[in-house]
Amino acid sequence: MEPRGLQLWEKAVSVFRKPQGVQIIVFPEDGIHGFNFTRTSIYPFLDFMPSPQLVRWNPCLEPHRFNDTEVLQRLSCMAIKGDMFLVANLGTKQPCHSGDRGCPRDGRYQFNTNVVFSNNGTLVDSYRKYNLYFEAAFDTPLQVDHTVFETPFAGKFGVFTCFDILFFDPAIRLLRDSEVKHIVFPAAWMNQLPLLAAIQIQSAFAIAFGVNLLAANIHHPSLGMTGSGIYTPLKSVWHHDMENLTGHLIIAKVARNPQGLVGTENATDKMDPSHGKFLKILAGDPYCEKDSQEVHCDEATKWNMNAAPTFYSEMMYDNFTLVPVWEKEGYLRVCANGLCCSLLYQRPTLSKELYALGVFDGLHTVHGTYYVQVCALVKCGGLGFDTCGQEVTEATGVFEFHLWGNFSTSYIFPMLLTSGMILETPDQLGWENDHYFLRKSRLSSGLVTAALYGRLYERD
């Protein structure tokens, strides 16, 4: 059977050969064989995978060296034809002896695998997905692959797949190599708003770690899968489309050394009145008493903190503690477990929408188990408190704000999403007085989600 994915990919490569200046192309997870396989039914689609560490091999030029490597041969020839590095995802098999520790009963391992080819078709590296997402057809490797490959045009690239982006291994450990400035990221990511749409986590990862992320997500709207992009810490090009069935090829030029956003500070920040107010609140200024009846950081403004009732609502399957954001300007604070989230905000006009500030500090247990600390300002699905946490893509409420929390992790993903699935870049991020903050003014459209999504890997 001829996989349709391969035909589409060959077409893409031939269109963007070197005259276009494309140096590397990344294809999505599950793009060749598709979905819904059992361990047995996927077997005919698996390629045998020799270790690139042990064997130097060019499948296009040496097709008969190993049996059952048809897909690898096609991919290798594509890399040659396009004269570009090529990263693709496929299913692979590796025989093992039933006596070996971990060897499955059928005598073979089956892995969800990314492969990397150089522009001359040589198989330079591979990565076997470690954090599987309900993938009965595949095995978890006994050891994590920390795959880093070198290119002549941009230095070192790290590789991981889809669900891996939420875990310490291999994603975070790879970045301990300070020379890794770029990540290639095949995915079949099912969007879940308000916090984990593909473009949100992809962009947040690039910003949080100051890297370029080349993310190829499979386009399958009926399964809620869309959202790819080329992300840098300061600017991104992305595509999110739940309407059309045809995918989209993204091309962008990015810097070899991405310039980071985290910790950005310049003199004007200190002059901005809202930032001065934020710093006063953090310093525990006597005129900014957080728990007293009124909070007034200067003579002109008084905010009644007791006006906003605390309520609970489910967001991302987690029980968030929230307060409504009702006023035209104000300062709100909401706590859960040990995490306190604060919001200092101003709005040019009030919209007929309900917004809420929410906090969650605990173990997320649905569709994966991992510990999160989250501060989020979200637009609710309706006007009732129970609609806060629902999936929303359109909004009209514009804010200028500081959002911050006393996070007990340094691994914090900043997310900023506006109406129509548009990503925005924070004006400023960083630590101030043991609190991590995100600051934004001049949103281009209504706010859907502003969040600080913290991960405590050691509590998983």
Q: How far is CA 420 from the centre of its chain?
A: 18
Q: Is 280 designated active site?
A: no
Cα 177 to Cα 303: distance, rounded to the nearest angstrom: 47
The one catalytic residue among 29, 135, 353, 400: 29
Highest mean pLDDT among 122-126, 244-248, 287-291: 122-126
Q: List the Cα angle 332/333/336 in 5-degree steps.
A: 150
Backbone angles phi, psi at 313, to 5 degrees: -155, 155
Q: How does residue 19 score in pLDDT terms, banded at 50, 70 and 90?
A: low
The one catalytic residue among 60, 77, 162, 340: 162
Question: Does residue 426 contact residue 417 with C-beta atoms inside 8 Å?
Answer: no
Give pTM, 2 decimals: 0.94
Q: How does residue 195 score in pLDDT terms, banded at 50, 70 and 90?
A: very high
- Mean pLDDT in residue range 366-391: 98
Q: Write out pLDDT tens, residues 208-238.
A: 999 999 999 999 999 999 999 999 999 999 9
Whether the pLDDT of residue 20 is over 90: the answer is no
271 burial (CB, 10 Å; 0-12 / 13-18 / 19+) is exposed
The pLDDT assigned to 260 comes to 84
Cα 158 to Cα 167: distance, rounded to the nearest angstrom: 15
The pLDDT assigned to 306 comes to 52
The pLDDT assigned to 340 comes to 98
The pLDDT assigned to 376 comes to 98
Whether the pLDDT of residue 251 is over 80: the answer is yes
Listed in sequence order, the residues at least 6 apart from 431 whose beta carbon sits closer than 8 Å to its beta carbon are: 263, 437
Cα 174 to Cα 172: distance, rounded to the nearest angstrom: 5
Instruction: Using DSSP bridges, classify how beta strands 148-151 and 155-159 pair: parallel, antiparallel or unpaired.
Output: antiparallel
The one catalytic residue among 60, 77, 93, 129: 129
Q: Is 328 designated active site?
A: no
Whether the pLDDT of residue 265 is over 90: the answer is no
Q: Write out pLDDT tens, residues 385-410.
A: 999 999 999 999 999 999 999 999 99
The pLDDT assigned to 8 comes to 87
- Mean pLDDT in residue range 117-129: 98
Look at residues 204, 124, 137 and name the one whose alpha carbon lies nearest to residue 171. 204
Strand locations in 316-354, DSSP E? Answer: 318-325, 329-336, 339-346
Q: Write out pLDDT tens, residues 294-350.
A: 444 444 344 445 568 999 999 999 999 999 999 999 999 999 999 999 999 999 999
Q: How does residue 99 score in pLDDT terms, banded at 50, 70 and 90?
A: confident
Whether the pLDDT of residue 290 is over 50: the answer is no
Q: Write out pLDDT tens, residues 271-282.
A: 688 999 999 999
The pLDDT assigned to 100 comes to 86
- Mean pLDDT in residue range 129-158: 97
Q: List the Cα angle 347/353/359 in 5-degree steps.
A: 80
DSSP letters of 83-131? TSEEEEEEEEEEE--TTSTT--TTSEEEEEEEEEE-TTS-EEEEEE-SS
Compute the mean pLDDT over every residue in the chain, rounded to the nearest whole number: 92
Q: How does residue 1 score in pLDDT terms, banded at 50, 70 and 90?
A: very low
272 burial (CB, 10 Å; 0-12 / 13-18 / 19+) is middle
For the CA atoms of 271, 277, 283, 285, what is the dihedral angle to 10 degrees?
A: 120
DSSP letters of 150-177? EETTTEEEEE--GGGGGSIIIIIHHTTS
Per mean pLDDT, which range of 42-51, 292-301, 421-430 is the poorest?
292-301
Q: Is 290 designated active site?
A: no
Listed in sequence order, the residues at least 6 apart from 30 whose beta carbon sits closer than 8 Å to its beta carbon are: 89, 188, 218
Q: List the Cα angle 409/410/411 in 5-degree steps.
A: 90
Helix axes 70-82, 4-15, angle to 10 degrees: 10
Listed in sequence order, the residues at least 6 apart from 414 whose beta carbon sits closer than 8 Å to its beta carbon are: 204, 207, 208, 426, 429, 438, 451, 452, 453
